[in-house]
């Protein structure tokens, strides 16, 4: 059967490439809500295109509350497996790409374009896998439902809306993570930082732009300290970040700090420009007062280079899911008002209420306050469950290497789906530039993905 499936998938390579091409050409970034398009016109256009393609391949389709599309193959009369994909993408700035981001480019076996790996390529692979099962007439005892969402990148409200009136299949996997199988996802806390202060030497501070990434830029405008005084301190700084100064005619000095961005689930791979700049400011002779004490408190609780939360009494680790990570992702101080964000990924053994309490205490100690933004429990599916074991067996048989379960700090599309796991599509330590410039995946990987999905359908539903 595996050879039959492989031959079919590879002989229809160009069909898959055409599907991906049509999807990538739609810039399905979240936009302004409008009638019939809660997440904007382009995500809805991508959904309509995908459902049109699915009908062309002979599947029964549905559009639910204008946010989620479905395509069913149900010869047995009962859906048993769901494959949950998404058609929305993150923004792309064309001038930073080597190729047009909203156009499929094929170069030396690679596919370039926004969404080729996250998640339009996997959408096409899942569709081709189901088409393969149908065309080969592989016997199924349970049917399959493909689900195509339109808001995964911005909080998965689409899934929440869909589930209000529709039940998900008893087994669900998403090709929106990594192989072999992601069965554990850490809990997530996104805390708003808020507060007020009496202004001092720092006229303004801004750093970070998104809540779930290590900030790579921060800047502060300083008054009352000369350029020469600041210049004398900067060579003593050993943060690893790049610092530059600008003098203004009004006597103020702007400090620019550049670090290295990284996903909040792996903050140890980045260089945090916000905490680096706070460390530098604390080396300057800032005016006495509340503002100076806040900077000192923030460095005491969240020192530069620390990503495990130990200084804030948040060092927690377990064997199943690893250590807690903490990212000071955004911070701003302007006109007496403070705002910012802390991103935490905590292990399955920790209690949400305990982590929130510790973080709140740390922020209060630094002179600011905790504001609830997002608080999610960990997601865990037992490794010995029949569903997980079948996926691992399929992976091992198709890929020719042992399948294993992995735990991650990030959240996949099934984070709130009971029993749901991620099955693909990243492999190993490859940097696919997901969410970045020149996002790519190889053609061969997507073909192998389709083979894996078809074999999984045949094994689980056959």
* Phi, psi dihedrals of residue 39, rounded to the nearest 5°: -110, 20
Run of H or E residues at 191: strand 187-196
Specify whether the CB–CB gap between 400 and 335 falls below 8 A.
no
Query: Which of 380, 396, 382, 404 is closest to 459 using CA atoms?
Result: 396
Write out the DSSP string of 329-379.
Answer: EEEEEETTEEEEEEEEEE-TTS-HHHHHHHHHHHHHHHT-EEEEEEEE--E
Q: Which of 42, 118, 151, 152 is catalytic?
A: 152
Cα distance from N-terminal residue to C-terminal residue, the chain: 12
Specify whether the CB–CB gap between 70 and 164 falls below 8 A.
no
- Please confirm, yes or no, whether 15 is among the known catalytic residues: no
Q: What are the Cα distances from residue 16, in Å, to 13, 74, 458? A: 5, 22, 20
* Phi, psi dihedrals of residue 174, rounded to the nearest 5°: -120, 135
Q: Which of 66, 88, 119, 445 is catalytic?
A: 88
* Phi, psi dihedrals of residue 224, rounded to the nearest 5°: 85, 0
Specify whether the CB–CB gap between 292 and 201 falls below 8 A.
yes
DSSP type of residue 436 = S
Specify whether the CB–CB gap between 150 and 123 falls below 8 A.
no
- Please confirm, yes or no, whether 152 is among the known catalytic residues: yes
What does the alpha-carbon distance between residue 422 and residue 150 come to, in Å, rounded to a whole number? 18
Dig out the tokens for 161 from the structure.
């809306």
What does the alpha-carbon distance between residue 296 and residue 278 come to, in Å, rounded to a whole number? 8
Q: Which residues are annotated as catalytic?
A: 88, 152
């Amino acid at each position: 059967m595996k050879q039959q499936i492989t031959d079919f998938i590879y002989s229809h390579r160009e069909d898959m490439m055409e599907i991906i091409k049509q999807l990538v050409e739609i810039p399905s970034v979240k936009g302004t809500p409008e009638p019939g398009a809660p997440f904007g016109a382009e995500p809805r256009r991508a959904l309509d295109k995908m459902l049109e393609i699915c009908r062309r391949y002979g599947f029964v389709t549905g559009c639910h509350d204008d946010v989620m599309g479905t395509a069913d193959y149900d010869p047995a009369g009962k859906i048993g497996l769901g494959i949950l994909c998404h058609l929305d993408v993150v923004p792309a700035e064309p001038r930073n790409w080597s190729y047009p981001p909203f156009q499929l480019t094929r170069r030396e076996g690679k596919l370039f374009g926004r969404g080729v790996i996250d998640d339009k390529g996997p959408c096409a692979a899942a569709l081709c896998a189901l088409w393969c099962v149908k065309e080969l007439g592989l016997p199924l005892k349970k049917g399959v439902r493909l689900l195509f969402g339109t808001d995964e990148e911005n909080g998965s409200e689409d899934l929440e809306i869909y589930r209000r009136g529709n039940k998900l299949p008893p087994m669900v996997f998403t090709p929106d993570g990594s192989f072999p199988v992601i069965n554990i996802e850490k809990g997530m806390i996104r805390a708003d930082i808020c507060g007020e202060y009496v202004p001092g030497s720092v006229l303004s501070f801004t750093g970070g732009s998104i809540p779930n990434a290590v900030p790579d830029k921060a800047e502060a405008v300083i008054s009352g300290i000369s350029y020469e005084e600041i210049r004398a301190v900067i060579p003593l700084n050993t943060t690893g970040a790049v610092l530059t100064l600008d003098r203004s005619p009004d006597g103020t000095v702007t400090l620019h700090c550049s670090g290295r961005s990284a996903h909040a689930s792996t903050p140890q791979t980045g260089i945090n420009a916000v905490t680096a700049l706070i460390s530098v400011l604390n080396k300057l002779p800032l005016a006495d007062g509340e503002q100076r004490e806040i900077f000192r408190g923030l460095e005491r609780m969240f020192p530069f280079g620390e990503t495990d939360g130990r200084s804030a009494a948040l060092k927690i680790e377990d064997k199943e899911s690893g250590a807690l990570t903490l990212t000071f992702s955004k911070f701003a101080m302007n006109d007496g008002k403070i705002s910012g964000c802390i991103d935490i990924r905590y292990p399955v053994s920790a209690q949400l209420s305990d982590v929130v309490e510790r973080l709140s205490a740390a922020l209060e100690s630094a002179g600011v306050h905790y504001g609830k933004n997002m608080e999610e429990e960990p997601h865990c599916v037992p490794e010995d469950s029949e569903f997980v074991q079948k996926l691992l067996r399929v992976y091992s048989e198709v890929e020719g290497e042992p399948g294993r379960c992995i735990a991650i700090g990030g959240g996949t599309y099934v984070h709130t789906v009971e029993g749901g796991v991620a099955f693909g599509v990243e492999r190993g330590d490859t940097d696919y530039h997901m969410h970045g410039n020149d996002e790519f995946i190889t053609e061969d990987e997507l073909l192998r993905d389709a083979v894996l999905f078809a074999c999984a359908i045949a094994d689980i539903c056959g």
